[in-house]
Structure 1
Amino acid sequence: MVNLLYTELLKLKRAKMFMVSLIGAAAAPVMVFIGYLDAKAKKPEIPVLFSEAFSETNLYVLLLIGTLLYGVITAYLFHREVAEDTLKNLLTIPVSRTSLIVSKLVLLFIWILVLTLVAWGLIFLLGLIGQYEGLNAAVLLQSLKQFLLGGSLLFLLSTPTIFVTFLFKNYVPTIIFTAVITMGNVALANRAYKALFPWSAVHVIADNGFVPEYPPEYSYIAILITSIAGFVATLIYFKKIDIH
């Protein structure tokens, strides 16, 4: 398992995808920063708060950019050997198929956390440059907790994306799948049903934005059921398919 993870890290080190993902992670903080610059230019008397900047950035990450970005990363990690036609060679070492899946999941989790910290750190630096107000330890710790919690929950929801990647053996269906999810997030953003849709429920939990109509447990259950179902389906399918 450790050797598999180390191998995955070495392959990632030589790939350009990690640098591309860093650019993707920077998109939300930069967009929020530009938006606040425009607002500040029009109404300079209204202060920009760090808490608002962190909250708005996390909203974009969890409901829009993160869903698509992490979906592409997931497809890249789990489709790479298939695309390069090296999976059949890897499985003859021998390597357990379950161990291979788990090692990639660990790497995906680390990758998502790194991108989450990059987004959080960038909005902090841009806030200092833009002279946002209201900076204190409580704001920093609360926002960091929300970012990390949201990133971790999105990781749990990567399992259906993995299954789609294995099922179609192509990047395009995975991208379409994550795009549809993102559209669902947008459609439900201002509705109570957002607490039931697993991917929008991530932001509900991270931002503590629960709605009166549905208890918090509903959001957690929706995410857990989706994650477990995706993981089980992935393991069963990957163990049964023939690798040519």
Structure 2
Amino acid sequence: MVTIIKTEFMKLKRYFIVWIGVSLMLLTVLLTLFTTMADDGMVWDYQFLFEQVVKHFVTMIFPMCITLISGYMISREYTDDTLKNIETLPISFRKLLAGKLIVSAILSLFLGIVCFVFTVIANFIMGYDGFALIPALTGLVQMALLGFFLYLTMLPIIVLTSRYKGSFLVGVIVAFVYGFIGMFANGTLQSIYPVSAALGLINYRAGAEGVMWNKGLCFISILIMCAIGIALMFVKQKPEKREAKKTQHTAPKKGW
């Protein structure tokens, strides 16, 4: 498994998809800064900026982003026509998929950190007050863990769409809708819906006092999604139907 993971990281050096992920993290921060143009009387500081970035990170960008990256990594085995060569080795597709998913989990932590770095840079560029070392370190841990928890909630979509050639883009659309719906979850539903439950595990407050999360429900919600994703890995994939080649029989010539 270690060899598979190392190989996947070597493959990533040839792919541009990681840079797309970094660009999407930058887009998350830029989208948040765009909302500062609204004249709604809000006083922006570092903490408020961070909380707004987290909101866009969860509901609009990251679910789509990590599904895109993970799906692309898996689909390259189909598009590069390397899967049939791998099948000749003593490595099952399930083990190969597990290695790719572990790499995706590491990337989810990395992209969370990247988004946090962009947030801090944006804070200094905009000149907002309230930045301090301890809250910043707390935010760094929260953003990294948030990326990982969101990845676990997307695991069933990633695994399911990886079973079919060229279907990962469908998974990206589903992940976007899945994350966007989390914007409307409130009350107890926030702790049950997997995407918003990830916020509960990092103790997200959204600038409001007295926000209560049911950490038990949040943990169970994400654990169920992770278990479903792992279970799908062990479901035997149906072999693709191949059209039988029709043999053409030439009619015997008449006469001499």
Distance in 2 (alpha carbons) for counterparts of 1:21 and 1:57: 16
Bigger CA radius of gyration: 2
Tell me the SS of whatever aligns to 2:130. coil
Partner of 2:192: 196
Listed one character per residue, the Cα deviations across residues 153-187 of structure 1 (whole Å, up to 9, x for unaligned) are 11222320222213443123212321331232133
Partner of 1:177: 174
Structure 1 vs Structure 2: percent identity of aligned residues? 24
Q: Which amino acid aligns with 1:221?
A: I
Listed one character per residue, the Cα deviations across residues 119-172 of structure 1 (whole Å, up to 9, x for unaligned) are 100110111111110111221022112102211111222320222213443123
Q: Does 1:65 align with 2:61?
A: yes
1:186 pairs, out of 180, 183, 188, with 183
Distance in 1 (alpha carbons) for counterparts of 2:67 and 2:143: 18
Distance in 2 (alpha carbons) for counterparts of 1:47 and 1:174: 38
Per the normalisation by structure 1, the TM-score is 0.86
Moved over 6 A (4+): none
Which shows bigger deviation, 9-18 or 178-187? 178-187
Partner of 1:136: 132
Distance in 2 (alpha carbons) for counterparts of 1:121 and 1:165: 31
Distance in 2 (alpha carbons) for counterparts of 1:62 and 1:144: 15
Partner of 2:10: 10
Tell me the SS of whatever aligns to 1:184. helix
1:211, distance to aligned residue in structure 2 (A): 6.3
1:70, distance to aligned residue in structure 2 (A): 1.1
1:223, distance to aligned residue in structure 2 (A): 0.7
Distance in 1 (alpha carbons) for counterparts of 2:184 and 2:163: 27
Point out where structure 2 has 5 or more consecutive residues left out of the alignment. 243-256
Listed one character per residue, the Cα deviations across residues 19-72 of structure 1 (whole Å, up to 9, x for unaligned) are 111111111111222333x25xx589x752111111111111122211111111
1:17, distance to aligned residue in structure 2 (A): 1.1
Q: Is the CA contact 2:158–2:168 (under 8 Å) kept in the aligned structure 1?
A: no
Q: Is the CA contact 2:105–2:148 (under 8 Å) kept in the aligned structure 1?
A: yes
